[in-house]
């Protein structure tokens, strides 16, 4: 319940409401882009400062290993389940979307952990960055295999190009660069940047979530006439993914804060990076089939009820 009283979450709900009642409220695209970049920069700095204090430890390596493992396991498992009910190319696209991550969901979760006094490692920002690309690569490999079996045209999309675009993308580069700057500048940098990266963070996150609420409401209209299986998947898959992450974290004795964030990352789904690549790499699949459920169902589900549920389940184990 405390999550629903968080101003940032309430602004997200306001955005959804405004979109559903067809209000003319809108956030100009340049401002929305600025907010997105600001949040990534602030998150990277915060992670770098924390990593400077904790150092590179075995626990850091374990957490990053679990992050990469989840980014590989989720698209493979989900594809093999979805292909039983959907066209295989559609199944591959959805599996890629849910195998990747949502930075905004992650950022919201870090704020809730901060409010509850639950500590987490600065390296989790790096874990988020590492989880973005594997699912895309797997989906494109699957797509080329399916096309070969169908004897249709071969659509070669360079894996090297995907990795290059992933790590040189403006947002991703800003996140990793800010993480490095925070790490090397340490306590001195933390004091200098605190008014910008900490004091302003909560307010600008709330403003950005208002915009995301408006966007989520618009995507609900694209859910008409979609196969029932994808609605069930969009609701059930996040919780299943979070429980798998919890099992791995519990087995390897990962700290509570890192466990919750790995659950959140595993439960989230991409609505920016993956659709941008799949529109080019898998033109046969309509973006509405994977983007509408990611942004219209899973994103609001995680922001409003998912994060506190993952938090509660993890604390029950710890």
Q: Write out the two tokens for 309.
A: 């549920």
For residue 260, the model assigns a pLDDT of 97
CB–CB of 136/273 below 8 Å?
yes
Q: How many helices (H) and strands (E) does the chain have?
A: 16, 0
180, 41 contact by CB (below 8 A): no
- Helical residues (DSSP H) of 123-227, grouped into ranges: 124-130, 134-150, 159-168, 170-194, 201-220
Task: Please state the domain extents for the chain.
Answer: 2-19+26-317
Half-sphere exposure of 269 (CA within 13 A, CB side): 34
Helix, strand, coil tally for the chain in percent (to 5)? 80, 0, 20
Average pLDDT over residues 217-234: 82
Closest alpha carbon to 290 in 189, 222, 199: 222
Query: In this predicted structure, what is the pLDDT of residue 44?
Result: 82
- What's residue 236's pLDDT? 96
Min mean pLDDT across 105-114, 215-224, 230-239, 286-295 is at 215-224
* Closest by Cα among 132, 158, 143 to 92: 143
- Could you give the percent of the chain with pLDDT greater than 90? 35
pLDDT at residue 164 in the model: 67
**Residue 227 three-state SS:** coil
What is residue 242's predicted lDDT score, i.e. its pLDDT? 97
Q: Give the closest residue to 64 by CA, choosing from 136, 152, 126.
A: 126
- pLDDT band of residue 158 (cuts 50, 70, 90) is low
Tell me the pTM: 0.81
pLDDT at 214 over 80: yes
For residue range 46-88, what is the model confidence (pLDDT) as tens digits?
A: 878 877 877 778 888 999 999 999 999 999 999 999 999 998 9
C-beta neighbour count of 255 within 10 angstroms: 16
Alpha carbon 202 to its chain centroid, in Å, reads: 19
Average pLDDT, the chain: 85
| 155 pLDDT higher than 60 | no
What is the model's pLDDT at position 292?
83
Domain 2-19+26-317: state its class: mainly alpha
- Chain-centre distance for alpha carbon 41: 16
Residue 317 pLDDT greater than 60, yes or no: yes
Q: Is pLDDT above 70 for 168?
A: no
The Cα 241–Cα 246 span in angstroms is 9
Rg (CA), the chain: 19
pLDDT in tens, 248-277: 999 999 999 999 999 999 999 987 777 767
Q: Which residue has the higher pLDDT, 318 or 172?
A: 318
Give the integer Cα–Cα distance in Å for 31 and 14: 18
Quick check: 156 pLDDT over 80?
no
Higher pLDDT, 150 or 53: 53
């Amino acid at each position: 319940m405390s999550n629903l009283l968080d101003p940032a979450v309430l602004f997200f709900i306001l955005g959804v409401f405004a979109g559903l009642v067809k209000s003319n409220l809108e956030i100009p695209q340049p401002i929305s882009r600025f907010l997105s970049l600001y949040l990534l920069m602030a998150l990277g700095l915060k992670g770098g400062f924390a990593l400077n204090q904790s150092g590179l430890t075995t626990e850091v390596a374990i957490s990053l290993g679990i992050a990469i493992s989840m980014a590989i396991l989720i698209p493979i498992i989900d594809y093999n389940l979805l292909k039983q009910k959907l066209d295989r190319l559609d199944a591959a696209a959805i599996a890629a979307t849910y195998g990747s991550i949502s930075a905004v969901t992650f950022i919201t979760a870090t704020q809730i952990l901060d409010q509850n006094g639950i500590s987490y490692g600065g390296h989790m920002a790096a874990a988020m960055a590492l989880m973005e690309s594997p699912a895309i690569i797997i989906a494109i490999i699957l797509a080329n295999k399916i096309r070969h079996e169908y004897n249709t045209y071969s659509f070669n999309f360079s894996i090297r190009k995907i990795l290059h675009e992933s790590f040189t993308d403006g947002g991703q580069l800003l996140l990793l660069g800010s993480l490095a700057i925070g790490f090397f500048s340490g306590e001195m940098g933390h004091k200098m940047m605190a008014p910008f990266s900490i004091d302003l963070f909560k307010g600008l996150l709330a403003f950005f979530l208002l915009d995301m609420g408006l966007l989520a409401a618009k995507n609900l209209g694209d859910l008409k006439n979609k196969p029932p299986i994808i609605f069930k998947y969009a609701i059930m898959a996040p919780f299943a993914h979070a429980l798998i992450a919890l099992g791995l974290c519990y087995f390897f004795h990962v700290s509570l804060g890192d466990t919750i964030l790995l659950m959140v990352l595993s439960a989230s789904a991409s609505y920016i990076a993956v659709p941008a690549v799949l529109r080019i790499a898998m033109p046969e699949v309509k973006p509405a089939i994977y983007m509408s459920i990611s942004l219209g169902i899973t994103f609001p589900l995680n922001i409003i009820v998912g994060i506190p549920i993952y938090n509660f389940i993890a604390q029950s184990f710890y």
